[in-house]
Structures are given as C-alpha cells and as structure tokens.
Structure 1
Amino acid sequence: MPLLHVLLRVWQSLLTSFGTNIQRNDHLNASHSHLRNLTSKIRKLRWIGGTSSANVYEAVYSTATTSKQIAVKSLRIEIFGNRGQSEGEELLIRANAWMTLQHDNILVPIGFADGFGPLPSIVYDWMPGGTLTSYLEENSDSLSVLQRFYLIKQIASGLCYLHHKNVVHGNLHGNNVLIDAMGVAYLADYDITATHRGQHIPPSVRWAAPERFDSQNVVAPTTKSDVYSLGSIIYQILTSRQPYYEVKSRSKVSIEILNGNRPSRSHDTHIADHHWLFMQRCWSVPENRPSAAEVLRFSQTEVELLIT
C-alpha cells in the first residue's frame, strides 16, 4: 500500500478519536449548562477564513441595549441521513462542556447559531489578535523574549487548568490559540470540527504527538500528548515559525514524525540552550514528559528572570 494511503488511514483513525477528547468529571457534565440559541440576534458580516472542515465568519451580536463583534464557526460538511443531526448534537455537547470552564486563558463559546451551515455553528467572542499563528507572523519583529514567554505562560496556565479539571484538549496547535486585543492568549476548542473529517491530513499534524500515529488502533489523546503539543507551541512562539516549517507538505511532515524526527533547532537568539532542552523533554517518550504544571513553572521562572 502506498505510504500516503497508510498515512491517511492513520489520520482517519486519529481524527475519529478527537470526538472523545474531553474527559469530564460529573461537575463538568454538559447538562449543567446550556448553549444559548443566538440565531435571531446575529447578523452575518463576512467570511473571514476557513479550513477544509469549517468556515469562520465575522458577525455582530445585538441586543436591545448593545451590540458586539463576534466570530461564528460553521462546519463545512455534507449531511447523509441522520448523520448530520447526531454530529450536530455532539458538537453542542462538546461546546456545552467548555462553557463550564472558567479561566483567564480559556475561550468559551457564548452560544450557537443556525443558518451559517448545515449544522449548528458555535459563537465566540471576537479575538482581534487572531490565531497564535497569524499573530506571530504579523508581530515577529516586535515581540520581545519577555512577551513571548508571557504567551507561553498564559497557554501553559490554561492547559494546566484543563488538566486539573480532567479535561484533555487533544487538538492543541497554533490555530487553536486565540489572541485578544491586549495580546493575551486563550486556549480554544476552536477546531473541534476536525473530529468530523477523516479525508485529509490536517494542519495540526505539525503539533501532534507521535504516539497518536497508530494504524492498528485508535489512540485517544492524553495529558501527555497535550504536553508534546505544548512543546511545539513553545517552539512556535520562540521562533515565530510553525514546527517543521522547512517541510511544506503535511504528508511529508507525517513521514518526519513517523521516522522519529522532531522539529529542527532554529539558530534564533530567542532560544537558549536550556529552552531547547526543555522542549526536548516535552517531545520525549510520554513517561518522560513534564506535566503541564511543570511547563507553567518553567515559563514563570523565565518571566521572572527576564523582568529582574
């Protein structure tokens, strides 16, 4: 079987596991909160981007007293029989689970809306800074090392909170972190649509832990695979480059990962030797990886050193 077909089969198995990436305690049960239907209060403005699995729109949410800019994410998917209804229900359950979370670096949905696509679309507060990937591309020359470590600290803090709540993110990457007007980072379950597509190798492959590549079994994400992805986020923030930036094809990135190759060290002044060693720990075998709390302590220490 051609290698690309093998990789596609691997990712089909991998992506189907995303639907179970939120592991909740009883107090995180989706029935404890309910997404509001905001359809009648939303006016679509424009399409602002998308992936092979979803479209993102800029819109306005208006009430009798106020209005604000919002983002609406709509699945790009065909409905066959009752399949769309069940996937729509799953989408709302997952979004409901995130509504129970309360943390300064977690972006929670504010509701859902119909009319943007075949399934309910999830509504979020507008993040003017865009995704972490676009933010780093636009501000690469102006961000100081201290500002970069503040971003790492914020993301690590959000992930530490999730893990404390027994929530595995399972799909952490540069487009799943959003930046507000003040440059503060928020973790989002922003690409939950990946669970509904198994026909492509997604952009998040660049951040994915190698143990998720198992063609024989569906390998569920874990806190350890989240930390691997967090190590790749650290790499991206310090270099302003996506992992494996020198490899253009995502299928070739998959080959690099399957061959045991990790992102190459960039000779960037932002990466000190001890930074690189810590990233290597995040990319080591699961049992040797630090916890999210250890990553948070690492970033806090770096911030303290840089401001003294």
Structure 2
Amino acid sequence: MSTPVTGGSDSGPPLLYVVPPTLQLEEACIPGTRQSIITTITNWLNSTNITSSKVLWLADISGSGKSAVARHIGYTTTQSNQLLCSFFFKRDIENQSNTSQVISSMAREIARGSGAIAAEIAQAGSLGEGAGYVEAFHSQITVPLSRHPPERPSLILIDALDESGTPDRRAHFLDALVREVPLLPATVKIMLTSKPAQDIDDALNKLSTVTVDDDDELEVYRLTFDVYGQDNRRDLRKYISHSFERIARLRRSNGFSLPEVWPSNQQKQSLVAHANGLFLWVTVAADYVACANDPEDALEALLALQNRPNPEAAIDALYKHILRSAESNPDFNFPTYYDILDLVLSAPNPLTLSELCATTKRDVGPTVCCLLPVLRAAPFVRIVHQSFREYVRDGKSAKLDSSFLGTPATNDAELPRSPIKAKSRQSSMGNNTVYPAFHLYVPLLSLFLVPLITPLQPRDQIDPNSVSQYPAARGAFGDIWRAKHLDGRDVAIKSIRLYGSLASLGRTNSKRADGVGQIDHPNVLRLLGICVFGGEIGMVSEWMPKGNVTEFTINHPNANKLKLCSEIADGLAYLHNEGIIHGDLKGGNVVIAADGSARLVDFGLAKLTEEALKFSTTSAQRGTTRWMPHELMNPAEESRAVITFASDVYALGMTFLEIYTGNPPFMEMRNDFQVMFAVIQGTLPQRPSPEASPQLINQMWDLMTWCWARNNERRPNAMTVSVMTRSLLLHNKEFGSQH
C-alpha cells in the first residue's frame, strides 16, 4: 500500500522562509572559497553528455559547509535561470522536518516557470490528492517536466536530506526518487546534500542498477569535502579573515580599540587548527567573540582550548566552553536555561522571545543573551546548528557536565510536542510602567535611553486590561498593540524585535535612540515613552485611528494623494536632516492623524536592529523586499548592503507608487523571490494606467523614477523630493480634497 502525501500541489506554502534560502547570502560561500567543488558541481550540471550522472550527492560530516554550498549553487542557478525548484529541510520547522510537503512544494516552484506546465501541475495536484509518493512525484513533477522539458540543463536542489526525519519516515520519498529519476528528461538533474546516512546511500545505490535504453548505466556522482586537505584549510583561513574583519569593523565603529592587525596571522593559523576542518566551528567561535565584552580576551580563551583529534570533538569542546562561559555570567539562570532548551528543542516550530517568556512565565531574555553564540534570537529563538541539539541531548557520552544536559535523545517520533499556547498580552506583560528613561535588565541596559516628550511620570501605568488581545498590525521589526494609558489616552505600543547581541551595542545607539526621542515634526509621529512589554521593548506613541496611508487611500479614493506624498517627503527630509535613517519606509509605516495629515512611524528601527544583528556572522538579510533597492539584496554589492539615506529615497518612491495604486510595488509579481531578481536585474515598476491612477501626473512619475535610479548617488535627496512635491502641489490643486 502506498503512503499518502499530505496535501495537494495547491495547498498553502509549507515553508517559513522570510527570504528564500538561495538568497540568504550571509550563509552562502564567501568569494574565493569552495571554488574547486563549485566548479565540479557546475560542470556536472552543464554537461550535455547523455551518460553523465543525473544525481549528485554531496555528503559529508556535520558542520562542514554543505548547506552553504547548496545555497551558493541555488543562487547561481537562479541567476542563470537553471533552478527548477529547491527544498531545504529544517528539523525545527514542522513542514520542513519531514518529506510530506517536499513534492507539492517543489511542484509549486516548477509551476512558476510557464503557464502550460503550471496548468498541468495544478490539474495533477487536484486529481491526485491523497496519492502516494511515487504517484505524486510522477504526476506532479515527472510527467509535466517530460511534456515541457527545459531546453538547458536545469536543477532540482534538495538540501539536508538527513534532517527529513527517521530513515523509516523518508523511505517512501527515497523510493519515489529512485523510481522517477530515470524517467526525467535528460536536461533535468538532481543535487542532494546530507550527512552520510546508510539509508540514503542504499537508496541511491539502486540507481546504479537502472539502465537507460538498455545500454548506458545511470549512476550517482558522489562528492565530499576533504576537510583536512589544503584547499579546505585555505578556505577556512579566508572565512576566518572575513568573519573577524566584520567583528573588528563593527567594534571599532562603537569605539572599542583593537590592534591594527587582528587577529594576527599566528592567531588565524591557530584558529584553523582548532576548527579541525569545520566551517561551523569558525561561525560559532566568531559569534562567541562578537558577543563578548572584550573580544581580545574571548579570542585568547578560544585559542587556549586544547586542540582536538577530530571535527566532532572540536565542535563539542567549543560548545562546552561557550556553555561554561554563559554559566559564569551573573544573568545566566539554570532553571530558565532548562525551560528554554526544552521548548526550543521540542516545539514543532520556532518560537519568538515573547512566546518563550509567556510560556515559561519568566523573563528569558537575559539567559538567551548569554547563550547567543549557540542560539539565534531574531526573529525566532533557534539553535545555531543541529549538532548542538545532539550535543546537549547526548547523556550517555560524557560530552558535557550533566548540569547542561537537555531533553534526553529519543526517536524523533517519540519526542514530546510542547503545546505552545502563547498567553494574551494582558497576562504576560509584567511591568507596564512607561519610563522617562529606559531601564531593563543588565544585558539591555546599555541599549539606549529615550526621554519622554510628553511628561509622564514613572508611576503612570498602561492599563494591562486595555491591551488588545491581538496585534492591530504586524511589521518587519515588531507588532503594534492598542492600549489605554491610565490617564485615558489611547496609545499604540510597538513591540520591537531586537534580539541580536544586545549587550554589546554600547553608547552609540544610546545617542541615536535619544535623538529619536527628541524629534518634533508635524509629519513624524511623536514618541511618548518606552515600556517593558511581554519581555520586549515597547515604544509608546499616540494611537492613530485612521490607520496607515495605504488603507486610507483605498477607503478614500478621492483623497489628495499628491498632498500625502508631499507630507511624507517633508517628514523624511526632516529625519534625514536630524541624521536619522528610516530604514523601513512603506505605506504601512505611514499613519494618518485625525486631521488627515501623514506621519512617519518606525523610523530608525532598521538601523538599531541591523547593528544588533551584525554581531551574528550568519544574520540574514533584513528589510521589506518590495521597497528595497538592488544594493541591499545583490551579492555583488555585499559591502554596500547597509541602509542609507539613498535607500530611504528609493523606498520613498515606492511608497508614492503604493499610494497612487493602492497596491504594493511590483504587484504583477506573485512573490518576493521574483521581485528580488527583477530588481537586481534592473527592472522598474510599470506605470499604472491613467484609468487606474487618474491623479498620477507625468511630473510625479518622473520624480518617482528618479528616486529609483540604479546608481544610488544619482538619486535625489529627501529635501529635493520634498521641495519638488510641494511645488507640484501648488500647481496641481485640482486633485480632490483631503478627507
């Protein structure tokens, strides 16, 4: 009997990717590394020899860098229009931790290629719901690709196959793969990555017995890293230089003095030896140094560790050192550690910091900060790598003291699933004081001080019973909740997701946020104060009952859109004059006051978040894709991939377009993945028709396209845009009235 595959091809996306893995460039190979293996894979893919292997299996030990290579190949094949589909298994994400969704997910990606194949896949999915793996693979992937074969060599990419559950649970998918590979067109090839696993090896061995045209033998191209080889050591050294140069640059920018050459050549060589061939070791070690109060002392402590005989022992020794260092921190709490570990390792999907606080009924923030080298905390709290899961669950091996052991290792199918039911904000807020100066627990103490503009006293409280049960809105940097102050005012609380290495931010951000607190302009929403909200920072401002500008213009189609654009430009010009980069400008971050004027919100949060997260050497790309210029997403622009005044102006032009159309930019493109590559390739939004946007005059469209100039130095500054929109407003008063 065949095992049914959950869901059809038209079911909702199973992935939790904010940015597709092939675009998470921080996790891809840095320039100049892995050149030999990347060349080998590229040559294999592009080979037109009919006898060449259809399947390439990159298999090596945990932490060797397989996923980075997979992401790099995914990116380059997307650029060359050769990636048919991809699936990246993740053990801590429910729909990516097993094979039940992989076929339907890959079929959806393939369907984006053309209208004909999309229709065929959609029909196959609707007719084959509940089909087994072989039937689903055949009807949704093999048959459509055979009827519409790609002209060029094209790739199906599957990463971390060993994280797809137990061998028994992935056996049906492997069986389907082996059965269907020989039936795929000659131009379709499959790349797999995983740790060496007997069941995967046994399944792929079956391909060697399958013949094509009773003549040519179909085999698997097996590839591995030489972790002790010269090429790998050279690449490790480059990766060490890259990782520690970023740390040094950031720490120096925050006033920390480091030697001119740091680490020294001798220290780099020692780091290579300690890494034992593992790129993961370097990643975790760099994050440990970045999070430390004194990076020089932290580096010396790492180099004092005893060299280990093999890669597994090396990463275990590093984990032990980091946990012992965390234990020595006065903010570390063992009961909280156990709670965090149990929830993070057993939850079906990643949890936010606020969800951990609500579930444990304690403030987990200080302990999470102590564990940042082995945890990622933005936007979800996740372990740095699956090897850490194995480390803390291995109670039989004396890997670490029993005090740090987490949930004992069991069969994945037997793991308890935590019934995560985040409590309402009313019961999890804790201290709801609005502070005239910002004081939290020690790891956050140095973040910033924001004085109040409206004189509220520390004794004044937000009424906890008035906080909305659900967020009124969600954004890239936090959620917005409606509440009442005890004096009767309606207020908005923006819970800020600042989960990076907060303890190390220093006084640079204190000054920046203090400046944010002092702003005063009719087109910028004023900050009332700051509170502690569900374990997060809460920025308190006046409640805006008319919603954001996009909602407002949709509900009031005759509103004077040019006036709104002019007010937004005025607000942005004011912020830039105050030295503040907005960083996430879009219609959702412009609210409408009671008098109908536009006011900017969420300014400066992107910069604060970015600097917090830069301490993690694997932090992902941030921002709101459809409003982002190419320099924030193009790998060729990596050194310039920071928000600037010019990137704000680009987003300003996109916000203008959003106001005139009522839709996000690039509305004709179905997903952000397509938008990213369109923008990188130089594509600009299409001008809406006069019927759709009757208020959009030629001069305004010309100004918007100027804001989108590919060379950021050629974009106008915000003051220029402000002056020009005001001038246009004076000469074009016929476009409706403001409601």
**Residue of 494, 516, 521 corresponding to 1:73:** 494
Question: Does 1:50 pair with 2:470?
Answer: no
Corresponding residue number in structure 2 for 1:209: 629
Tell me which of 534, 544, 552 is aligned to 1:135.
552
Corresponding letter in the other structure for 1:266: P
Matched, 1:279 2:708: no
Given that 1:71 and 1:126 are in contact with CA atoms closer than 8 Å, whether structure 2 keeps it comes out as yes
Equivalent residue number for residue 543 of structure 2:
126
Contact 1:282/1:289 (<8 A) preserved: yes
Tell whether 2:677 aligns with 1:255.
yes
How many Å apart are 1:122 and its aligned residue? 0.9
Indicate how the Cα distance of structure 1 residues 218 and 292 shifts in structure 2: closer, same or farther if over 3 A, else same. closer
CA distance in 1, matches of 2:22, 2:674: 13
Change over 3 Å in CA distance of 1:230–1:183 after alignment to 2: same
What 5-or-longer segments of structure 1 have no aligned partner?
A: 21-29
**Residue correspondences, number:** 279
Partner of 2:523: 105
Residues of 2 paired with 1:102 and 1:132: CA distance?
Answer: 20
**Alpha-carbon deviations, 1:203-252, whole Å to 9, x = none?**
x2111122222433352222222111111111112222221112231222
Equivalent residue letter for 2:648:
D
Match of 1:236 in 2: 658
Query: 1:78: Cα distance to partner?
Result: 6.7
CA distance 1:241–1:69, change in 2 (3 Å): same
Return the offset for 1:7. 1.8
Amino acid at match of 1:228: Y
Distance 1:117 1:78, change over 3 A: farther
Q: In the alignment, is residue 293 of structure 1 matched against residue 734 of structure 2?
A: no
Tell me by how many angstroms 1:166 deviates.
2.4
Matched, 1:182 2:595: yes
Measure how far apart 1:39 and its partner are. 8.1
Structure-2 change in CA distance of 1:229 and 1:72 (3 Å):
same
Which residue number in structure 2 is paired with residue 224 of structure 1?
A: 646
> 1:56, 1:73 within 8 Å by CA — same for their partners in 2?
yes
- Check whether the contact 2:493–2:538 (CA below 8 A) recurs between aligned residues: yes
For residues 33 and 163 of structure 1, what CA distance do their matches in structure 2 show? Answer: 19
Deviations 1:1-47 (A, max 9, x none): xx9324223699xxx9xxx9xxxxxxxxx989525786851024312
Identify if the C-alpha distance between structure 1 residues 89 and 244 changes in structure 2 by more than 3 Å, giving closer, same or farther.
farther
Tell me the distance in 2 between the aligned counterparts of 1:92 and 1:40.
24
Pick from 541, 544, 564: which aligns with 1:151?
564
Equivalent position amino acid for 1:233 in 2: T
Query: In the alignment, is residue 4 of structure 1 matched against residue 23 of structure 2?
Result: no
Aligned mates of 1:119, 1:85 — CA distance in 2: 14
Q: Secondary structure at the match of 1:221?
A: coil
What SS class does the counterpart of residue 307 from structure 1 fall into?
Answer: coil
Question: Aligned-residue CA RMSD in angstroms?
Answer: 3.4
Tell me by how many angstroms 1:59 deviates.
0.3
Distance 1:261 1:227, change over 3 A: same
Give the TM-score, by structure 1 length. 0.77
> Residue 26 of structure 1 aligns with which residue?
none
Shift of residue 55 of structure 1? 2.2
- Identity percentage of aligned residues: 25
Partner Cα distance (2:592, 2:493) in 1: 16
Q: How far did 1:76 drift?
A: 5.2
Q: What secondary structure, in the 3-state scheme, does the structure 1 residue paired with 2:467 have?
A: strand
Q: Distance in 1 between matches of 2:512 and 2:528?
A: 13
Contact 2:650 2:707 in 1 (8 A): yes
* 1:23 equivalent in structure 2: none
Alpha-carbon displacement from aligned partner over 1:161-192 (angstroms, at most 9, x marks no partner): 12222222222122221111222111122582
Q: Letter of the aligned partner of 1:209 in structure 2?
A: P
Shift of 1:103: 1.0
Q: Which consecutive unaligned segments of at least 5 residues does structure 2 have? A: 1-18, 29-245, 251-446, 614-618, 735-739
Equivalent position amino acid for 1:297 in 2: V
Asked if 2 retains the 8 angstrom alpha-carbon contact of 1:151 and 1:185, the reply is: yes
Match of 2:585 among 172, 180, 197: 172
Cα distance per residue 1:259-282 (max 9 Å; x no partner): 211111111322222222221111
Query: What is the distance in 2 between the residues matched to 1:122 and 1:221?
Result: 22
Q: Distance in 1 between matches of 2:494 and 2:681?
A: 35
The one-letter code of the counterpart of 2:721 is V
Q: Work out the CA distance in 2 between the residues paired with 1:136 and 1:110.
A: 27
**Bigger shift: 256-265 or 92-101?**
92-101
Match of 2:86 in 1: none
Change (3 A) 1:230 1:11: farther
Report if aligned partners of 2:450, 2:529 keep a CA contact under 8 Å in 1.
no
User: What CA distance in whole angstroms lies between the structure 1 residues aligned with 2:674 and 2:459?
Assistant: 42
Q: Secondary structure at the match of 2:732?
A: helix
Structure 1 partner of 2:213:
none
Check conservation: 1:95, 1:122, Cα contact below 8 A: no
TM-score, structure 2 as length reference: 0.34
